[in-house]
Chain A
Amino acid sequence: MSDYIVEAIKNGVFETLKMTAYASLYAYIVGLPLGVILYATASGRLLANRPVNVIIGAIVDVMRSLPFLILLVLLIPFTRFVTGSSIGTTAAIVPLTVGAIPIVARMVEASLCEVQPGIIEAATSMGASPLHIIIHFILPEAAPSLLQGAAINVATVLGYSAMAGVIGGGGLGAIALQYGYYRYQKDVLWTTVILLVIMVMVIQQTGGLLAKFRRKS
């Protein structure tokens, strides 16, 4: 491998990490509250509200069912509006975030559903408001499960970020595509793939360890 390719791969690792970190962060800023709303408005829950639950649920599921590659293309005008450009690492963060939000929302909802109903009954009997119950009872109880879910989500975003190479996003995905696929440089292809696998494994293991450390029961 020539020096400039090694340099490009180093740069690609950095870009991939940047895209993954920002997209995951933004996806959680939106997806966590959405997941809480989906959980709390379901029938029989604290703030049961059928219309809200059905509408948000429908939006989330439609977004989630779109293949990510299609979402990338569909979102080009929106990306240009937000970042001023539709190519590059920063631009790729927008579709990555949008693509991850529904996954985060459903994952958060699933984690919250694991909390024992007895905890909520106890909190209610203490005179806590629904918001207090969510913040001080449900979220802390679900924390280990939320962490485990976060590891899966971040790894998914990392995988998606490789796809962003198709529409001109940076990162390892773009390098694999340009050098490895279009120019038949198998060594570059394999190097990037191995790097991606290692990154996913590190994320998954870190998340798993954090969750294990956090879980007290």
Chain B
Amino acid sequence: MSDATTVYELTNVSKTYRNEGKDFTALRDVSFSIREGEIFGIIGMSGAGKSTLVRTLNRLTDVTSGSVRYFGRDLAELSSRELRKVRRSMAMIFQGFNLLQQRTVIKNVEQPLRIAGVPRGERREIARKMLEIVGLSEKEKEYPARLSGGQRQRVAIARALAADPKVLLCDEATSALDPKITGEILELLAKINRERKLTIVIITHEMSVVERICHRVAIIDDGYLAEVGDVAEVFRSPKTRAAKKLVFPSNPYDPSEKDSRLLRIAFDGLSAKEPFIADLVATTGLKVNILSANTKSVGGVGYGQMVLELPKGEADREAVIAYFKRKGLAISEVET
């Protein structure tokens, strides 16, 4: 059914944990697909079910109903031997790195090759190449405890790449790192995606991670798939409440009156050249109150967003909204 370029196809995936008579449903009827070569983000608040979701992708967690197809094969139908073989083509990195503390860096990187039965000499050679890719060649004899968090995650990435996987699953891989190191790790992942055409799935609770490197994104909210689509599109016009909550700037707005209506405008690098607020005032004579404004890079394109407080009268409000629509700006109402 799925064409050659679909890596994962999830159909009505549900997961319920049974624990001493109490049921907990982590995923409800989730369906989407992941294409070969893309960086796919899965974002949600903590407890939304995204960690469970990524674990269904390599069957660390079995689904309760629905199916997860990997290059067309239903993972649930694999025997444990076949599953182990398939898992060798899916690498995973973790928030806590999960490196062997009692083994040197190079030995850690060799682990997947050892599992695949690659001979010792060849193992060492490949592992060295992987450390070179992540820029840690000089650390091969060190133990993980002596490395910084960012370096440890680089070792984990080298380890993940060693067995030449088709997919890289990242479970909150940057959540334990500071913003600068997060940026470096994301840069590395983007580079690997470009150069090796490796499909990458990124689980995160930070919109900034998704905006920075993901091509497409799925938003998970309370076990449901709230929204899925191109990152730029979701950023410009989020449709669901969950998406808006993630996309909108997190600084608190302080409208001048209780019943004010707030509007978020998102604009890409092109419309950003136009002084549209000044133009709004000039053409309609209406004034808006700017509550928040910032710019950021989404998928390599500069985007700006602004939260405005609309003028009081209903007719004036509609006129402002009509103006922005005419200008082709993505607008959405912010709940106060």
Contacts and interface: CB of A to CB of B under 8 A. Distances in A.
A141 B100 contact: yes
Interface in A180-198: none
Interface in B98-120: 98-103, 111-112, 114-116
Q: Is the interface of B mostly helix, strand, loop or mixed?
A: mixed
A9 to B, nearest CB: 41
A178 B297 CA distance: 87
A127 B94 contact: no
Interface string A95-138: 00000000000000000000010110111111111001000110
B145 A217 contact: yes
A167 to B, nearest CB: 42
B84 interface: yes
B59 to A, nearest CB: 10
Interface string B265-276: 000000000000
A125 B87 contact: yes
Interface residues of A, number: 23
A63 interface: no
A214 interface: yes
Nearest to B85: A127
A216 B143 contact: yes
B85 A126 contact: no
B102 A118 contact: no
A118 B96 contact: yes
Given A125-B58, A125-B60, A137 B100 contact: yes
Contact of A119 (B98, B115, B116): B98
Given A126-B115, A216-B145, A118 B98 contact: yes
A136 to B, nearest CB: 7
B144 interface: yes
A38 B159 CA distance: 30
B92 interface: yes
A215 interface: yes
Contacts of A124: 60, 87
19 contacts: A116-B98, A118-B94, A118-B98, A122-B99, A125-B60, A125-B90, A125-B91, A126-B163, A127-B83, A127-B84, A127-B88, A127-B112, A127-B115, A136-B114, A140-B100, A141-B102, A215-B102, A216-B101, A216-B144
Interface of A: 116, 118-119, 121-129, 132, 136-137, 140-141, 143-144, 214-217
